Amino acid sequence: MQLQRRKSQELYKTAKTLMPGGVNSPARSWKGVGGDPLFMARGKGSHVWDVDGNEYIDYVDSWGPLILGHAHPEVVAAVKQAVDNGMSFGAPTEAENRLAALVVDAYPSMDMVRFVSSGTEAGMSALRLARAFTGRPKIVKFDGGYHGHADALLVAAGSGAATHGTPDSAGVTASFAQDTLVAQYNDLDSVERLFKANKNHIACVIVEPIAGNMGVVPPQPGFLEGLRKLTLDHDALLIFDEVITGFRVAYGGAQEIFGVKPDVTCLGKIIGGGMPVGAYGGRQDIMETVSPLGPMYQAGTLSGNPVAMAAGIKTLELLKRPGIYDQLESKAVKLTGGFQAAFQKAEVPLRINRVGSMMTLFFTQDEVTGWPSVTASDKEGYARFFHRMLEEGVYLAPAAFESMFVSTVHTDADIEATVKATGRALG
C-alpha cells in the first residue's frame, strides 16, 4: 500500500530551506535508508501518526527515552503541573533534589550526580572530569561507539556518523583526535595494547556497556570485567555511557545486570522521559572535582530544568513499579520470536542481538560481536525492510546501525500485527 505523504513532503521541502538537511539531527534524515523523512504529528502509547494521518506501531520510541510510550497520561500530568509553576528559574529547585535522589538510589556506583541537558553534554563533561581528576590527556573509546557529538568523541564514532560513512567529523581538529584512542569492542587485547603504548597517559575508558549505536552488541563474558581490571591496574577511570541502557535494560542499567561498577556513569534519554535531560555521576571523591566544589568547570542555563525534572521523576517512579522489567522482557521475547519465525519462513538471514527491550535486526546469519561484523551485515537489506514495514504500518529505526525499543505499552496486538507485517514485508 503506497503511503500518502503529501504533507510530509511539503514540510520537508520547506524544512530544507531553513535547517541543514531539513532536520535537527542527522539520525532523522533517513540518509541511512534512503527516501525522505516522515514528519510526525502525534504519538499516543505505542503508536505515532504522521502529518498525513498515517498510523504506525512505533519501535523508535524517540531513540530510547519513551520506555513508557508516547504521552503517558501520568507523565503529561506531571509536566503540566510543573509548567504552571514556571518554566525555568536558573536557581535550584526541589525537583532536582528529587530526581537526583532517584538516580543515586538506583546506581550504587553514583554517590553524586550532575544534571545537564543532553547525553552529549553528559559524555563531554565526563571526559573533562576524567582528565581533571587524573591529570592525564588521553581517552579510550571504541570503534562503533557513540557518546554524543563532542569533538573528542567524534573519532571513529558509531550511530549517525558511521551510518553516513564519515567516522571522523569535519571540524574535529587533529589535536582533538590525537588524544582519542580507539579500541575494538569485545577485544580486551586492543585496549591493553593502548594502555601499554600510552603508559600513565590515559585518563579513562568510555564504553557503552551494551553497545547500542552500532546496533545492539552485548558485551561478551568477561569484557566489562576486563575493562574494570585494566582501568584499575592503570589508574584510569572507567566511564559507562548508559545514556541508552540506563533504566532501559534494568532499573539500575547495564551495571546492575553485569555487576561491574564504573567510576563514572553517563545517563540521558529515559531520565528525561522525553524531555531534555542528561546526567553524569560517580564516586564522591571524583564528583568533588566538579565546579563549584572543584576545579573542573561545567555549567548550563537549563540544566536540571524543573519541567524536564518533573517528566523524569514521574517516569522513574513508574518504572519502579514491581514487574515492569519482567513485562518488558516478555514483550521483547515475543517480538523477537515472531521476527525469527517470519524471517525463517521467508528464508532471509537474520541475526537479532537483544538485551531486555533494546534490540537490533542484523541482516546476516553470522554472529555480530563488534564493529567489523556489524559493517559486514546487509545494510541495504535492512533499508528495503524498513520501507516495506513502513508501508505495513510499522515504524522502525531509519538506520541499520541503531537500536529498536519495546515499551511498556506495546500490546500483544501490536506484536502480532508487527509479526504479520513482517511476513508481508518479506513476501
**Site residues, ligand KE4 (CB under 6 A):** 25, 27, 63, 118-120, 123, 146-148, 159-160, 208, 212-213, 241, 243-244, 268, 278, 402
Contacts of 301 (CB under 8 A, 6+ apart): 88, 90
**Closest to ligand KE4 by CB, 230 or 254:** 254
- Least separation in angstroms between residue 114's CB and ligand KE4 is 15
Least CB distance from residue 212 to ligand KE4, whole Å?
Answer: 5
Cα separation of 404 and 394, whole Å? 12
Grid cell in block for residue 304: 536540571
Residue 84 CB, nearest approach to ligand KE4 (Å): 26
Question: Minimum CB separation from ligand KE4 for residue 395, in Å?
Answer: 15
- Angle at alpha carbon of residue 166, lines to 164 and 169, rounded to 5°: 125
Of 146 and 363, nearer to ligand KE4 (C-beta) is 146
Closest contact distance (angstroms) between CB of 25 and ligand KE4 is 3
- Which lies closer to ligand KE4 via its Cβ, residue 153 or residue 390? 153
CB-nearer residue toward ligand KE4: 58 or 241: 241
The grid coordinates listed for 323 are: 514487574
Q: Considering the complex, state which of residue 226 and residue 246 has its C-beta at the smaller distance from ligand KE4.
A: 246
Side-chain-facing half-sphere of 248: CA atoms under 13 Å = 32
Catalytic residues: 146, 241, 269
38 and 15 in contact (C-beta within 8 Å)?
no
Classify 159 as helix, strand or coil: helix
Give residue number: closest CB to ligand KE4. 119
Which residue matches cell numbers 529498536? 404
Q: In terms of residues, how long is the chain?
A: 427
Which lies closer to ligand KE4 via its Cβ, residue 180 or residue 213? 213
**Residue with C-alpha cell 563514572?**
264
Kindly state the smallest distance separating residue 270's Cβ from ligand KE4, in Å.
Answer: 11
Q: Which residue has the cell 579510550?
A: 140
- Measured over the CA atoms of residue 221, residue 223, residue 227 and residue 229, the dihedral's sign is positive
* 201, amino acid identity: H
Q: Which is it for strands 112-116 and 358-362: parallel, antiparallel or unpaired?
A: unpaired
Output 244 or 421, the one with its CB closest to ligand KE4.
244
CB of 115 to ligand KE4, least distance (A): 13
List Cα–Cα distances, 331 to 70, 81, 152, 358, 416, in angstroms.
17, 32, 38, 11, 11
